[in-house]
Chain A
Amino acid sequence: MGRWLRERLAHVTGSQLAGLLVPVVAVLAAFLIGAMMLLALGANPLEGYQALFEGAFGDIDALADTALKSMPLLLVGVGICIAFRASVINIGGEGQMIAGAIVSTLVALGCGDLPRLILVPLVLIGGLVGGAIWGAIPGALKAYSGVNEILSTIMLNIVAVQLMNFLLRDLIMDPYEKDHGRLPQTQRLSENSDLPLLPGGTRLHIGILVAVGMAGLAYVLLWRTSLGYRIRAVGHSGAASRYAGMPVKRTIVAALTFSGAMCGLAGAILVFGSESHRFVTDGSSVGFTGSAGFNGIVTALFGGLHPLWTIPSSFFFGGLQFGANAMQRAVQVPAALIVGLNGLVVVFVVSSDRMRRAVSESWGQGREIASERSQQRDSDQTQVETREEAGS
């Protein structure tokens, strides 16, 4: 009975759809657990979720704010896609964002007089460069010294946070704050470095176009260039790639460098697209990045480690983050719930990755069985004969 059903379903949907269903089911499961938590905390889950989605996607302003929230998630997510495709686990998104923000801020402070047409691209390139450096270090350490990239990226996150705290309290601190308030932040950065707003009267700026463009470029990189081919080959099997004569070490460094560059760009956009047009710290990385360095892993996984699918995925999670504030106002449950649910989504998607494979394999078999049913008896016969021959 079960087998019959599987065969029918495989005929209708195919294994492709089974793969797409997994992330959706993961989110639904996380939301179900979230609903139970809301109930336990004495809030009405339906009311809470309604406020969440209306707050995130309800009108044009909400959509613009959601897009703003999803920008760093998308860029980090694209970076994570590149690294994970090479089987390099980049946990250093937070540090790479900070590094990008630092370099781009230095550019804006150093060449604030340049015209906007030059300065805006320049600060964005600064972000790319800063993140690339912060990604290349663990890449080189992994490739040439065998240092586990998970650990080196975590350590470099700590170094970047402290570097940011030092710079914002000392070398590039706002001179006014130095004398008065002692808030760790830069002065208002040059107006020529402000990211231009998009028409439409919202707070949305060109950062969103840059982020979507980068997702497209990353797709081209991964599937239309030989470097991208090498990245994916190394990700599948380092040994086989080495045997095929590919420069495995250089490929690993390249993957982490590109990955870091995307995160660095996210950091730069956070600074120059911010309301205050300053680089501000509260002493922790989360205070600056809003955990985007980690949450980008969620959006990338949810997008199936595909840069283009990461676009809607980031928009969805950006919406959850932004809508969480509306939920907090409506049912008095802190927005931190969404951070926890994001964690559950990661856990479910990664756990079900295996299930996805298992499902598509068994469904694939189901289809094979269905099409080859007519020949089954014959092949069974042959198998028995072969076995007997082998035995004798």
Chain B
Amino acid sequence: MSDFFTMASLVFVVGSGIRLATPFLLAGLGETIGQRSGVLNLGVDGVMLLGAFGAYWTILETRSPVAGILVGIAVGLAMGLVYGVITVTMRAEQGISGIGIFLFGLGISDLLFQKKVGTPIPIRGFGDLHVPVLADIPKVGEMFFQHSVLVYVAFLLVPAVAFLLNRTTFGLNVRAVGENPAAADSLGVSVARVRYTTILLANGLAGLAGAVLAAELGIFQQNLTNGQGFIAIALVYFGAWRPVGVMGGALLFGMVSATVLQWKTLGLVSGAASSLTAMAPAVLTILALVVISRTVGQPSALTRPFDRGH
């Protein structure tokens, strides 16, 4: 184990942890916005898969990572529109319709991949962006300032989303709609419009998260996300519906995964035992849920469709 406690390991764990945390963070921030307005979207994983395939295919065809990312976001927005119609206009049960969206994304992304691409051809995503001056600091630069531009975007979104939710009129409306839609409605806030907007933001970010995953890995395959979207949903609860909390959870997940990777590389754990360590984040989340459910209340109107009545 002493092999592990070295500077090189620390640099690897922190650096890779940040990289691995990015898709969780993007999808989790989106889900946070949605849930604060009372909308649970269990379909994140499916939207991520579709966004990932859209981005992968675009980059493969055009060789332009920027175009790929934009397509990923566009796919997410389109799925958001669908989800808005289902849950806001049709007022369907959110938990179950989310599973429908997940199955749709899982199947269709696989279908399109097999039909349009077939074999996994690697793509080139964004290169690492070395932040001037800061990247040259030994160790610290390697850990924090030599990442893809997408990583910086994701982490800069944390204060941006916090600002949006806590310091703007729109954010106030979002929180009002999530806590007491009837009261918000009686004050002239359109519950439907607010929820459509948050659903579009949430799904756009989920599509982006998938696009980032595909661009960073440089590959697509069946079920590429392997449940990352579901973990992102759990991180929202873990972070008690606060962007900074979600970031903390995403970093914890990323760092634990990176640690396991490093242990495997150093031969400290066998392949089999690494499965056991891979359980740790899920178990931690369950424990966190037990604590959080006692201390922090979720948005009161979460999963409740709003009916104005006639």
Task: Chain A residues near B290: list those with CB within 8 A.
Answer: 141, 145, 147
Task: Chain B residues near A146: list those with CB within 8 A.
Answer: 293-294
> Max chain B CB contacts within 10 Å: which of A336, A345, A353?
A336
Residue of A nearest to B85 (CB): A351
Q: Report the Cα distance A173→B281, complex, angstroms.
A: 25
- The contact string, 1 if C-beta is below 8 Å from chain B, for chain A 262-284, is 00000000000000000000001
The answer to the question of A175 belonging to the interface, with a C-beta cut-off of 8 Å to chain B, is no
Query: Interface segment, A151-159, A362-370, A381-389?
Result: A151-159
B positions within 8 Å CB-CB of A: 40, 42, 46, 86, 90-93, 95-97, 99-108, 110-111, 114-115, 222-223, 226-227, 230-231, 233-234, 237, 270-273, 275-276, 278-279, 281-283, 285-286, 289-290, 293-294, 298
In the assembled complex, the CB of A164 is this many whole angstroms from the nearest CB of chain B, namely 8
Contact status of A343 and B293, CB under 8 A, knowing A41-B115, A163-B279, A353-B92 = no
Taking a contact as CB atoms under 8 Å apart, the answer to whether A350 and B97 are in contact is yes
> Mostly helix, strand, loop or mixed at chain A's interface?
helix
Task: Chain B residues near A170: list those with CB within 8 A.
Answer: 270, 272-273
Taking a contact as CB atoms under 8 Å apart, the answer to whether A298 and B103 are in contact is yes
Residue of A nearest to B291 (CB): A145
The answer to the question of A333 belonging to the interface, with a C-beta cut-off of 8 Å to chain B, is yes
Q: Report the Cα distance A37→B112, complex, angstroms.
A: 10
Contact status of A291 and B103, CB under 8 A, knowing A159-B279, A351-B97 = yes
Residue of A nearest to B307 (CB): A354
Taking a contact as CB atoms under 8 Å apart, the answer to whether B293 and A148 are in contact is yes
Task: Chain B residues near A297: list those with CB within 8 A.
Answer: 96, 99
> Max chain A CB contacts within 10 Å: which of B90, B105, B111?
B111
Contact status of A346 and B99, CB under 8 A, knowing A145-B293, A152-B286, A158-B279 = yes
In the assembled complex, the CB of A40 is this many whole angstroms from the nearest CB of chain B, namely 10
- The contact string, 1 if C-beta is below 8 Å from chain B, for chain A 282-322, is 00101000010011011001000000000000000000000
Task: Chain A residues near B279: list those with CB within 8 A.
Answer: 158-159, 162-163
Q: Report the Cα distance A52→B222, complex, angstroms.
A: 22
Taking a contact as CB atoms under 8 Å apart, the answer to whether A347 and B104 are in contact is yes
Q: How many Cβ-Cβ contacts under 8 Å join chain A to chain B?
A: 165
Taking a contact as CB atoms under 8 Å apart, the answer to whether A339 and B276 are in contact is no
Taking a contact as CB atoms under 8 Å apart, the answer to whether A347 and B101 are in contact is yes
In the assembled complex, the CB of A314 is this many whole angstroms from the nearest CB of chain B, namely 16
Q: Report the Cα distance A272→B276, complex, angstroms.
A: 26
Taking a contact as CB atoms under 8 Å apart, the answer to whether B294 and A155 are in contact is no
Taking a contact as CB atoms under 8 Å apart, the answer to whether B107 and A342 are in contact is yes
Q: Report the Cα distance A112→B293, complex, angstroms.
A: 44
The answer to the question of A355 belonging to the interface, with a C-beta cut-off of 8 Å to chain B, is yes
Contact for A343 among B91, B104, B226, B230, CB less than 8 A:
B104
A positions within 8 Å CB-CB of B: 37, 41, 89, 91, 141, 145-148, 150-152, 154-159, 162-163, 165-166, 169-170, 173, 284, 286, 291, 294-295, 297-298, 301, 333-334, 336-347, 350-355
In the assembled complex, the CB of A167 is this many whole angstroms from the nearest CB of chain B, namely 8
Taking a contact as CB atoms under 8 Å apart, the answer to whether A344 and B111 are in contact is no
- Show 9 residue pairs from A and B whose CB-CB distance is below 8 angstroms, ordered by the A residue: A148-B293, A155-B283, A157-B230, A162-B279, A163-B276, A295-B103, A339-B107, A340-B104, A347-B104
Taking a contact as CB atoms under 8 Å apart, the answer to whether A343 and B101 are in contact is yes
Contact for A162 among B46, B111, B234, B276, CB less than 8 A:
B276
Q: Report the Cα distance A297→B99, complex, angstroms.
A: 9
Contact status of A155 and B272, CB under 8 A, knowing A145-B290, A336-B107, A338-B107 = no
Taking a contact as CB atoms under 8 Å apart, the answer to whether A347 and B286 are in contact is no
> Max chain A CB contacts within 10 Å: which of B91, B231, B276, B298?
B276
